[in-house]
Amino acid sequence: MSTPAPAAAPDPTPAADATEAVVVRGVERIFPGAKGATVAALTGIDLTVHDGEFVSLIGPSGCGKSTLLRLIADLDEPTAGDIRVFGKTARRARIDQAYGIAFQQAGLLPWRSVAANIELPLQLHGVGTTERRARVAELVDLVGLTDFARHYPDQLSGGMQQRVAIARSLAERPSLLLMDEPFGALDEMTRERMQTELLRIRAETGAAVVFVTHSIPEAVYLSDRVVVMSPRPGRITDEIDVRLGDAAERGEDLREDTAFFEGVTAVREALHGPQASPAGAARGVDVR
């Protein structure tokens, strides 16, 4: 990768942006509040997610991390600033299906089987039946639900439902995955298993990921880079490079590695300020 001078940042050519998964520049989102008041959900957001990079957005409730994700997904529009996804406007990227998305609630359609739920985006975009069936078989296998393809969402556990949702988000081989606390409603054990699985899937697909979470260990375990946000108004306060190793090589052992704890401490200090935890001490870390 080239090393552009920082001074050139204000107006890089769109061609340069095209190699980046997401480029957010000077974005602001202000919601109209009660009686003419306004709520600044996001101000002055600058963020670049490189192709194939795993970036977590972390911060307390109300810091606008979900709002930022929704803006990138073009489910909402910024009041100011510019968002590019693979060099296109967010709207164009949504229409072109440049990303796959998963929410905290699996959001499966209860009248469709697991296979039919995963198939939905392909069906909506006119993919042929044979190709659809092959792709669904692949995806069901990828998330380990081959035996459950004909089951209905109400017959699955929360973790399984979330795996279906992830498979659905991958249906059209997007180069960007947007995930809004996808494991937030799961129990701790299921959650850790899903995290490891997500790393494997990500290593297989090579997609860039923007991952919203409020769990420090989750962010550190999964990410190449953790973006720390703070509320009122929502803004980015810090960015921490984690890079614990190749996604494919990360295993459960990593959770007990010193590098992992150092990452947790770094993110924790960025969130709460250095006085919150004595440097180097992993004790007292919020493991949620």
Partner 1 sequence: MTTTTPATRRARRWHAVLWGVLGLVALAAVWELYKLVGPADGWLVGAQEGVTGSGIRLLPRTSDQAMPHTWEMLVRAAEPVTRAPGALPLGVVVLLAALVSLGVAALGWLLGVVVGFALALLMLGFRIAERAVLPFVILSQTVPLIALAPLIRNWGSRLEFGAFSWESWMSVVIIASYLAFFPVAVGALRGLQSPDVADLDLMRSYAAGWWTTLFRLRLPASVPFLIPALRLAAANAVVGTVVAEISVGFSGGIGRLILETAVAASSDPAKPWSPILGAVLLGLVAAGFVALLAAFLSPFRRQETVA
Applying CB under 8 A, which residues contact partner 1? 70, 73-75, 94-95, 97, 99, 101, 103, 105-111, 120-121, 124-125, 152-155, 158-159, 161-162, 185-186
Nearer to partner 1, 19 or 155 (CB): 155
Nearer to partner 1, 125 or 288 (CB): 125
Cβ at position 37, least distance to partner 1 in Å: 23
* Cα 110 from chain centroid (whole Å): 25
Cβ at position 275, least distance to partner 1 in Å: 38
C-alpha 21/C-alpha 175 separation (Å) is 8
Cβ at position 110, least distance to partner 1 in Å: 4
Nearer to partner 1, 76 or 238 (CB): 76
C-alpha 269/C-alpha 258 separation (Å) is 16
Cβ at position 158, least distance to partner 1 in Å: 4
Cβ at position 111, least distance to partner 1 in Å: 4
First to last CA, the chain: 36
Nearer to partner 1, 17 or 180 (CB): 180
C-alpha 165/C-alpha 154 separation (Å) is 14
Provide the phi-psi class of 35: left if phi over 0, else alpha when psi is between -120 and 50, else beta: left
Nearer to partner 1, 116 or 137 (CB): 116
Polymer length in residues for the chain: 288
Helix ranges restricted to H, the chain: 14-17, 65-72, 90-95, 114-124, 129-142, 158-169, 188-205, 216-222, 258-272
